[in-house]
Amino acid sequence: MYQALKVCTVFILVLFTASCGDNDLRPKPQAQLALQYPSPEYEKLIKENCPFEFEINTYARVLAKSDCSMKIEYPFMDATVYMDYAPVQNNIRELLIDGQKLSFSHNRMADVIDDKIYLNPDTSVYGMMYAIEGNAASNVQFYVTDSIHNFVTASLYFDRAPNYDSIYPAIDYIKLDMRKMMESMNWK
């Protein structure tokens, strides 16, 4: 019995050694997500009763409300930019605090919060854009104001769990659209 076990063990070891061969192990190449989005084309969005106008990507769908707030949907990305309007009525300080508080409420899940000031004195548009890196609920937000009459905020949300690495190409695409919204904002 001991002799048979010894022969089986030697046979199994020879079999494993012979099956190894000289296959060199090579690391897998890094994979890159190859998402292709259409080049943006912009047109001016003008709502009759709203005190502002701006340019928007023609591939986005706008669902406006009566109070000048709106949802800007990107159906091919399952993403929505929520834009809210508030009139300034001696409350600019509170509006600015609320606009900044929303961005920094994602601080727990954010790796980095990159803020960029936007100033355009020619059109009286002043604001701030926040790009939030990490698995936060909203990765891009901005607010713009003329400091006297109008205050607009916008936030990007996806209709899925926030996995920053997976949705980064879509974030980058929509962030450029949101920058265009800020830069083309005009008060009526």
User: pLDDT tens digits for 28-66?
Assistant: 767 665 678 889 999 999 888 899 999 999 999 999 887
Of 65, 51, 69, give the one whose Cα is nearest residue 185.
51
Dihedral, CA of residue 117, residue 118, residue 122 and residue 125, to nearest 10 = -110
CA 95/CA 91 separation, integer angstroms: 6
Q: Which of 90, 152, 69, 73 is nearest to 118 (CA)?
A: 152
For residue 142, which of 89, 88, 183 has the smallest C-alpha distance? 183
DSSP single-letter state for residue 139: E
What is the arithmetic mean of pLDDT over 7-12? 75
Interior CA angle at 90 toward 86 and 91, to 5°?
55
All domains in the chain, ordered by first residue: 59-187 (3.40.1000)
Integer Rg of the chain from CA: 27
Give the pLDDT confidence of 143-174 residue by residue, as tens digits: 999 999 999 999 999 998 878 888 889 999 99
Q: What percent of the chain has pLDDT over 70?
A: 85
**Whole-angstrom Cα distance, residue 61 to residue 77?**
12
Write down the H helix ranges in the chain: 2-20, 92-104, 164-183
pTM of the model: 0.78
